[in-house]
Chain A
Amino acid sequence: LALAGPAFADPVEDSLSIDTDDGTLDIVTTTAAPPHLSDTMDTIYSGWHFRETETRDLQRDDFDNPGMVYVDRALDSWNKAQGAKGESCAGCHEGPESMKGLRAVTPRVDPDSGALMTVENYVNECVTDRMGLEPWGMTGDKMKDMLALISMQSRGEPVNVAIDGAAAPFWEQGKEIYYTRFGQLEMSCANCHEDNQGRYIRADHLSQGQVNGFPVYRLKDAGILSAQQRFVGCVRDTRAETFKPDSAEFKALELYVASRGNGLAVEGVSVRH
């Protein structure tokens, strides 16, 4: 396939340091591909490298990052006595920093139940079993706010999801989905984010479709988005019947896609257009 025209553009060469309340934090947005991808690509990039200068700049300072509003909102929720018997997250977990590290290793298989668990699944387990409430909607505001707060506790840590052992069958399922050409347009995730990374599909600069930045604040939606919500959009764009957020398929896919980003830093709440 001949490369067409001058518009072909690699990821922008740039590096990300974030001004936070606790000083400057360096974020790994480019690194060597994990071993399981070594036949496919050498280097992995955060989606941050594929966005315009103005969009990238919004992520350099928490003061400018529109996603931080949701983190603040979640902190209120964390401290609030909202369980059936007045339980709060803080009552059992103390500060949100107790969640440090979790976002970098999820989705993961829970050793006790054998179930594949996303951050959202863990939250809902507490909401229902330990607080006696109805489950929070997987893509509802309460859940996504909490996902943002919990992800922030791992900001800067390298993504390191397990792909072997109990995770292996889920990972294989996710990989299979990643390479399946869905819908009337017959396109797989790999067709766009592997084969055509760096190219433009109309005005969209195709990234590697990494999830280390999730949840993302999306300027187009003026709101935050979970990884599986993004998957819904991408699958819909192939004129396909999508899977639902929290379906077995999308959970396996999230694990697989996360593993393609092993080594990139968790961005907490990133900004995309």
Chain B
Amino acid sequence: MTRQFWMAAVAALCLTTPVLGETTPTAVAYTDGAIETSLTGGPGDAAAGKTVMTTASLGNCVACHQIGTIPEADFQGDIAPPLDGVAGRYTEAELRGLVANAKMTFEGSFMPAFYKTEGFIRPGAAYSGKAPTEALPPILTAQQVEDVVAYLMTMTE
């Protein structure tokens, strides 16, 4: 077997199994809706977070929120409060909790929980409309949640 094959196999495995040192979705501890420590143990990348927030299959935050700092994302929704200045309203820990599971902060919120894998009614395999054949992954990975939080922390006005 070639070295390349092995590297590909390892990379594929990384997508499905939690990275060492990460907090898994079921192990997250919420304090009044907030998550104190980084889900990866490290910092997020704000630029990557911006991509997650505007990509329909990932965060798709602009479907519901207006984000003035990302004008290039067109047709921003008006379901939810605009996110501008959000870093002034919430701490990093609170924002991490909001992205991971906003229902821990706002009971019954319409906002989807992006880092949650249990407790759903008829969950499907992503947008296929079919039942999942494997354990349900969270919508965003721990790294992606941290990336989004990093971007939100730049939104000071």
**Known contacts A200-B78, A239-B123, A240-B123; is A4 also within 8 Å of B66 by CB?**
yes
Q: Give the chain B neighbours of A236 by CB distance below 8 A.
A: 124, 127-129
Is the Cβ of B75 less than 8 Å from the Cβ of A202?
yes
Chain A window 183-198, contacts with chain B (Cβ cutoff 8 Å), 1 for yes, 0 for no:
1111100010001100
Q: List residues of A (164-203) whose CB comes within 8 Å of B's CBs.
A: 180-187, 191, 195-196, 199-203
Is the Cβ of A232 less than 8 Å from the Cβ of B129?
yes
Is the Cβ of B64 less than 8 Å from the Cβ of A184?
no
> Is B139 part of the binding interface, using a Cβ–Cβ cutoff of 8 Å?
yes
Is the Cβ of A184 less than 8 Å from the Cβ of B128?
no
**Known contacts A183-B121, A239-B127; is A199 also within 8 Å of B77 by CB?**
yes
Q: Give the chain B neighbours of A203 by CB distance below 8 A.
A: 74-75
> Is A92 part of the binding interface, using a Cβ–Cβ cutoff of 8 Å?
no
Q: Give the chain A neighbours of B128 by CB distance below 8 A.
A: 236
Residue of A nearest to B138 (CB): A184
> Is B80 part of the binding interface, using a Cβ–Cβ cutoff of 8 Å?
yes
Q: Give the chain B neighbours of A183 by CB distance below 8 A.
A: 120-124
Chain A interface residue count, CB cutoff 8 Å, equals 31
> Is B62 part of the binding interface, using a Cβ–Cβ cutoff of 8 Å?
yes
Chain B window 130-153, contacts with chain A (Cβ cutoff 8 Å), 1 for yes, 0 for no:
111000100100000000000000
> Is A1 part of the binding interface, using a Cβ–Cβ cutoff of 8 Å?
yes
Is the Cβ of A201 less than 8 Å from the Cβ of B122?
no
Is the Cβ of B77 less than 8 Å from the Cβ of A242?
no
User: Shortest CB–CB separation between residue B106 and chain A, in angstroms?
Assistant: 9
Taking residues whose C-beta sits less than 8 angstroms from the other chain, chain B's interface range is 35 or more
Residue of B nearest to A237 (CB): B127
> Is B13 part of the binding interface, using a Cβ–Cβ cutoff of 8 Å?
no
**Known contacts A5-B66, A182-B122, A186-B113; is A241 also within 8 Å of B81 by CB?**
no
Q: Give the chain B neighbours of A237 by CB distance below 8 A.
A: 127
Is the Cβ of B78 less than 8 Å from the Cβ of A186?
no
> Is A235 part of the binding interface, using a Cβ–Cβ cutoff of 8 Å?
yes
Is the Cβ of B121 less than 8 Å from the Cβ of A180?
yes
> Is A7 part of the binding interface, using a Cβ–Cβ cutoff of 8 Å?
yes
**Known contacts A2-B81, A236-B124, A239-B123; is A187 also within 8 Å of B110 by CB?**
yes
Is the Cβ of B110 less than 8 Å from the Cβ of A184?
no
Cα(A4)–Cα(B79), bound, Å? 7
> Is A63 part of the binding interface, using a Cβ–Cβ cutoff of 8 Å?
no
Is the Cβ of B122 less than 8 Å from the Cβ of A200?
no
**Known contacts A8-B78, A186-B113, A195-B110; is A235 also within 8 Å of B129 by CB?**
yes
Is the Cβ of A241 less than 8 Å from the Cβ of B130?
yes
Cα(A200)–Cα(B62), bound, Å? 11
Cα(A94)–Cα(B76), bound, Å? 52
> Is B29 part of the binding interface, using a Cβ–Cβ cutoff of 8 Å?
no
Is the Cβ of B123 less than 8 Å from the Cβ of A200?
no
Cα(A126)–Cα(B16), bound, Å? 50
Subset of 11 A-B contacts with CB under 8 Å: A4-B79, A182-B121, A182-B122, A183-B120, A186-B120, A187-B112, A199-B78, A239-B127, A240-B124, A241-B129, A242-B124
Interface residues of B (CB under 8 A from A): 56, 60, 62-66, 74-82, 103, 110, 112-113, 116, 120-124, 126-132, 136, 139
9 nearest CB pairs, A to B: A236-B129, A203-B75, A242-B129, A202-B63, A241-B131, A185-B112, A241-B124, A7-B78, A4-B78
